[in-house]
Amino acid sequence: MGKLLTPDDLPIVRGRVYHLDLAPEELARRVIVVGDPDRVPVLAEELLALREVDRFHRGFRTITGVTAETGQRVSFVTSGIGAPSTEIVLNELAALNEVDFASMTRRERWQPLTLVRLGTSGGLNPVTPVGTLILTDYVVGLDNTALYYDIPLPDEACALLEEKVGSVLTGTELPGARFAGKIAPYAARSDRGLLASLTAAASTLELNWTRGLTISSAGFFAEQGRGVARVGTTQVNLLDAFERLASPWPGLELQNMEMEAGFFLHFLGGMRYRAAVVCVVINQRSSGVFMADYRRQVLDGARLILRAFKEYGDARAKSGALA
């Protein structure tokens, strides 16, 4: 028997995890995670033929049901904004999948979940138009939430990206800043098989998409170069420096910045879950172009993910692996 989890480790109320208010049987094995709770019912209304579960607690909306197009059981789950909120949600999803709530110990046997973050982002590549779906290949996170999880480097490409982004941070530090040198970038990557399925599905759906590198910011204002508050900042001209950052791999450019992909891929990769990220570019800071209505693009992203879920599951079943 594994470690006994206490109510302090994992609060359970009426057989459900506390923040998401979900019981284990109410979570599907395929999960689409979005930041905005209002986006969950929009996706459910457009894509589900049957709703099984609809919960809203502590700002987190979850709807589980069966999709109309592919017949898959899928959960749409809210992450909230930023890495700290995402950390809560992913831990509870993992607990729903792995923990026996009767004994409060980890089950001896469980299968990894398949999860994709579907979100919005700011464009860092001037030649990529707004409305483009970015399939994240690698991500570099700038938050410190992920640093509490000691997960080995996935590959040498991640080490190279950490070095390159670290140099950008050093080069944009304000001399004498109190926290200069304290921001530690970390790199992670999408699951290779799931990313391949997303790429194949995007190619057949005639969508505006590209694969690329993503920066995951720790916040929205100073962290992304927005000087609104009446206090100084640690970095100056950080976005300009990122836009000038050359990719070490031809054809795989730095494309976008958002706030959740870093922790999402770092944590789930360390858990050996299958995870990937799809984000719509809704603004270009360099040109000032902003897309106010991106509902269609988000729905396109969701349909892409559902198609990839099916293709990925079919491929694994054909190979004899559990979907």
Report the C-alpha gap between 132 and 14 in whole angstroms. 43
Residue 320's pLDDT is: 67
Architecture of domain 1-110 in this structure: 3-Layer(aba) Sandwich (3.40)
The stretch 120-131 carries a mean pLDDT of: 95
Task: Give residue 27's pLDDT.
Answer: 98
Could you tell me the two tokens for 115?
């999860």
pLDDT score of 18 more than 90: yes
Domain assignments of the chain as residue spans, ordered by start: 1-110, 119-323
**pLDDT, average across residues 94-114:** 96
The band of 317, judged by pLDDT with boundaries at 50, 70 and 90, is low
From the list 71, 222, 73, the residue with the least C-alpha distance to 63 is: 73
Asked if domains 1-110 and 119-323 share a fold, the reply is yes
- Residue 17 phi/psi, 5-degree rounding, is -65, 150
The average pLDDT across 124-141 equals: 96
pLDDT per residue over 33-64, tens digit each? 999 999 999 999 999 999 999 999 999 999 99
The pLDDT of residue 313: 83
Residue 316, pLDDT > 90, answer: no
Q: Assign 3-state DSSP to the chain and report helix, strand, coil percentages, each to 5.
A: 35, 25, 40
> Looking at residue 286, what is its pLDDT?
80
Measured CA to CA, the distance from residue 272 to residue 276 in angstroms comes to 12
Q: Which amino acid is at 65?
A: G
pLDDT at 82: 97
Question: For 269-292, what is the mean pLDDT?
Answer: 94
Q: How confident is the model at residue 323 (pLDDT cuts 50, 70, 90)?
A: low
The CATH number of 119-323 is 3.40.50.1580
What one-letter code names the amino acid at 159? A
Confidence of residue 287 (pLDDT cuts 50, 70, 90): confident
